[in-house]
Amino acid sequence: MTRDTAIDQGANANQSSQHAEPQGLLQKTRRRLSFGIAVALSLFVLVEVNFSLLTPLKELSLFVTAGLVLCFLQVPIHPGWKDVRWLQIVDAVLAALAVGCCGYLIVQGAELGQRAAVYTAADQWVGAIGLVLVIEAARRAVGWSLPILAFIFIIYAHQSVSQTLPEWLFPHRGQDWEALIGQTYLRTEGVFGTAVGVMFRYVFLFVLFGAFLQASGATGYIIGLAVRLFGKRAGGPAKVSVIASGLMGSLSGSAVANAATTGTFTIPLMRSIGFKPHIAAGVEAAASSGGALVPPVMGAGAYMMLEIINRDPAVTYLEICQAAFIPACLYYLSIFMLVHFYARKIDVESDRASARLAETHSDEPSSTAAAVELAPAPAAALLSLEGLAFFGSLGGLMGFLLVGFSPFRAVTYALAIVIGVVLINPATPVNRRERYLALVVWALLTLLAWYIAPAVSQWGDALVWSIAGLLLAGLFSPSWWGLLSNSFRTTAQGGLPLIVAAACVGIVIGLVSRTGVGTGVPQAIIPLAGNNLFLGLVAIMFCSLVLGMGLPSAVSYLLLATIIGPVFADPSLGVPILAAHLFIFYFGMMAMVTPPVALAAYATASIAHASVMQSGIAAFRFSLVGFTLPFMFVYRPALCLMGNDGGSPLAMDVVIAVLAAVIGVVALSSAMAGFLFHRLGIVSRILLYVAASCALFPDQFGIVGDRIQLFDVIGAALLLSVGIWNWKHPPRDIGSPVSHAT
């Protein structure tokens, strides 16, 4: 190497070092600021929802500000440009603008309300910039679908377009830019309206609760418990995925987060027993997406329904849990059976392959994947403190709700149970002295809050303040830093897309009432549904799938309930309002596994190293029963434990409805897997598809009053006939190649 070359390389290295130093400082500052905001946001929501110390506009402005700033600091404008320094500076500027725009509302909120929609130039500039920031943050956090929808609604609502629309697009008077900005940003009907309010009061606390529940070891306990129950059975790892994802998804409500949490464990295990990569990804995506359908939490969906459903008498939490129970069981039964049949088929095909290999190379050891012995998976102890954290907090949550506590106070007390278990659990990665010291500090903080904290009138109020104080104090302890910092970061990661997506949905919701959509869509669908309810439900299904694409489950339901929910308010349809909201809630969830925008499948495909589109199609097929169940419980409200008039059902109606659904689920699962007792031929599979269609078909003909339906009997007879034939006549072509049908 020449001297000049060495000098040049040394200079280049020096320049790189000088460039890396400020780059590293910028990254470190962003991380520290993001973490500080995550902690402040979590503790602020914990205290504010329980005591309402600020006005609604101020508390929601702070909530949205934190979400926007976190988004601009953590999510780059494009993943491939995350290390471009000047774009990082742009992100910092956008974060500062978000603080300024939302801060303007905090300062000017009272005066804005007194101006009677006559806004100054400063108001309009702040509102316009704020709208752009909300839309851009939503694009970064949840993709293009929601920002495009918001932009379409803004153009649709403007007076230059609104009066020239064709009749089928519901023309209206429209608004000028000043009125649009005021409606969507400067008042509590748009960005800071119902959508963000529900996220703030209900959903975010469950994200915080789920993060600490995960830190308590409950996730590992659930997976271990599922391993104990199903690990040694056919398709054990896949069945573990189904059960674990259902239980954890009920609490998290996020299909993507659920898939990422349980999928990292279950997908490799599924692949190890012969599941193809895209099949393993599809199973996990379908199971994770259904978690929000499982009571008692339903990903906070149960509490949103309490807030949104307008019925006299008011719907109760217990009614929602009862209505959701049987459909959720049927959904997971369908995935469970499909996994079982598919795994049994793999086992049979592996045995045949081994037999053929043994015949050809009888003196050589088998080398098939089926011959590989898997190390036994860890089994959870049935009685453990991790199990107490999960079932104790879940049972406590239900108990607090049933005795009359508000949802946010109930989940706060459930969080206290989780924290208490963490403090007494020897498995917590903190020494005994630190855990006991934390218990003493918690007791002292509760006593101190009783005397000096604001808005304290009972010991439960003091407990809320002491929880916030304990979590904050723990961050200053090196022993507790790791557990608490991971929990707060997990909360921020889960809450960020919910906040910015809800803010963007608020734009749409704020304009629905000001345009022809709020009344036009119901007026268009109600006559169709009145003439043929099935066609009306199909139209609502497609609207729900399109509007729910790419949205978090909670945000999707809010949007659908606003635009489509009024359709079911018409009494002429004869659909109980709770069953109607479950209908749109289901299809909002199914959007997570509906290609081409199947976000849950995208997450699992990356873990399985599989094709995104193949994984999406597999997830769609595994969750296919989820597309039929809503039609079933609209036509058969007994599946939701309610009568046709919304009251209590007859026990026999419930039994018959469940039996018909189980027949359809088993027939469909077997037909899709191509296996029942033995491998199925093409004729048998077609007959099973017909049996499933008959049992799941909602509009039927009664042969014994309205209870025993003709199509149910046909479906049961076909399933029984195919089952007997398949049991008594197994396929004899053992040595022939076998096709993989699933």
Confidence (pLDDT) at 79: 83
| Cα atoms in the 13 Å half-sphere on the side-chain side of 150 | 31
For residue 570, which phi and psi values (nearest 5 degrees)? Answer: -70, 120
- Average pLDDT of the residues in 453-466: 93
534-552 pLDDT, tens digit each: 888 888 888 888 777 767 7
Q: Which residues of 607-639 are buried (b: 16+ CB within 10 A; e: fewer)?
A: bbebebebbbbbbbebbbbbbbbbbbbbbbbbb
Last residue of a domain, which of 624, 649, 674?
649
678-724 pLDDT, tens digit each: 888 899 999 999 998 888 776 566 666 666 778 888 889 999 999 99
Tell me the β-bridge partners of 702.
Answer: 709
Mean pLDDT of the chain: 81
466-475 pLDDT, tens digit each: 999 999 999 9
Stated pTM of the model? 0.77
Residue 498 falls inside a structural domain? no
Pair (75, 165) in one structural domain: yes
Pair (286, 142) in one structural domain: no
- Average pLDDT of the residues in 328-341: 88
- Average pLDDT of the residues in 436-456: 93
Confidence (pLDDT) at 179: 86
pLDDT bin (cut points 50, 70, 90) of residue 12 is: very low
Q: Which residues of 142-172 are buried (b: 16+ CB within 10 A; e: fewer)?
A: bbebbbebbeebbebbbeeebeeeeeeebbb
Question: For residue 202, with 0-12 CB atoms within 10 Å meaning exposed, 13-18 middle and 19 or more buried, which class applies?
Answer: buried
pLDDT bin (cut points 50, 70, 90) of residue 740 is: very low
Confidence (pLDDT) at 368: 34
Pair (140, 271) in one structural domain: no
Pair (29, 71) in one structural domain: yes
Residues in the chain, how many?
A: 742
Pair (167, 39) in one structural domain: yes
* Rounded Cα–Cα distance for residues 662 and 656 (Å): 10
Alpha helices in 253-316 (DSSP H): 255-272, 277-289, 301-308
Pair (730, 666) in one structural domain: yes
* Rounded Cα–Cα distance for residues 31 and 16 (Å): 22
Residue 309 falls inside a structural domain? yes
Highest mean pLDDT of the ranges 160-169, 186-195, 263-272, 382-391: 186-195
- The answer to whether the beta carbons of residues 470 and 457 sit under 8 Å apart is no
**Least confident stretch, 81-90, 133-142, 251-260, 356-365:** 356-365
Pair (689, 661) in one structural domain: yes
541-584 pLDDT, tens digit each: 888 887 777 677 778 888 888 888 887 777 767 788 888 888 88
For residue 709, which phi and psi values (nearest 5 degrees)? Answer: -100, 145
* Rounded Cα–Cα distance for residues 111 and 252 (Å): 39
Confidence (pLDDT) at 233: 63
List Cβ<8 Å contacts ≥24 apart for 76-79. 76/140, 77/140
Residue 223 structural domain? 218-355+376-388+548-561+578-649
Residue 617 falls inside a structural domain? yes
Which of the pair, 382 or 147, is modelled with greater confidence?
Answer: 147
Report the Cα–Cα distance between both ends of the chain, in Å, rounded: 61
Which of the pair, 476 or 301, is modelled with greater confidence?
Answer: 476
Report the sign of the C-alpha dihedral through residues 612, 617, 622, 623, in that order: positive
Pair (120, 226) in one structural domain: no
Confidence (pLDDT) at 61: 93
Tell me the β-bridge partners of 679.
Answer: 675
Residue with tokens 């990665």: 429
Confidence (pLDDT) at 138: 92
Confidence (pLDDT) at 7: 40
Helix (H, G, I), strand (E, B) or coil at 176: coil
- Average pLDDT of the residues in 455-466: 93
Residue 263 falls inside a structural domain? yes
Which of the pair, 400 or 513, is modelled with greater confidence?
Answer: 400
Task: Return the number of other C-beta atoms located less than 10 Å from residue 272's C-beta.
Answer: 14
Residue 3 falls inside a structural domain? no
602-640 pLDDT, tens digit each: 778 878 888 888 888 888 888 888 888 888 888 888 888
Pair (642, 681) in one structural domain: no
Pair (226, 133) in one structural domain: no
Residue 536 falls inside a structural domain? no
Both tokens of 95, joined, read 């974060």
Confidence (pLDDT) at 218: 78
Pair (638, 673) in one structural domain: no
- Average pLDDT of the residues in 377-385: 61
Residue 298 falls inside a structural domain? yes
144-198 pLDDT, tens digit each: 888 998 999 899 888 888 888 887 777 888 888 888 888 889 888 889 988 898 8
Total domains in the fold of the chain = 3
Confidence (pLDDT) at 101: 92
Last residue of a domain, which of 649, 674, 694?
649
Pair (599, 696) in one structural domain: no
Q: Which amino acid is at 298?
A: M
Which of the pair, 8 or 523, is modelled with greater confidence?
Answer: 523
24: pLDDT strictly greater than 80: no
- Cβ neighbours for 327, distance < 8 A, ≥ 6 positions apart: 293, 582, 586, 629, 630, 633, 639, 640
Last residue of a domain, which of 167, 187, 207?
187
Confidence (pLDDT) at 70: 95
199-220 pLDDT, tens digit each: 898 888 888 988 898 888 877 7
Confidence (pLDDT) at 556: 80
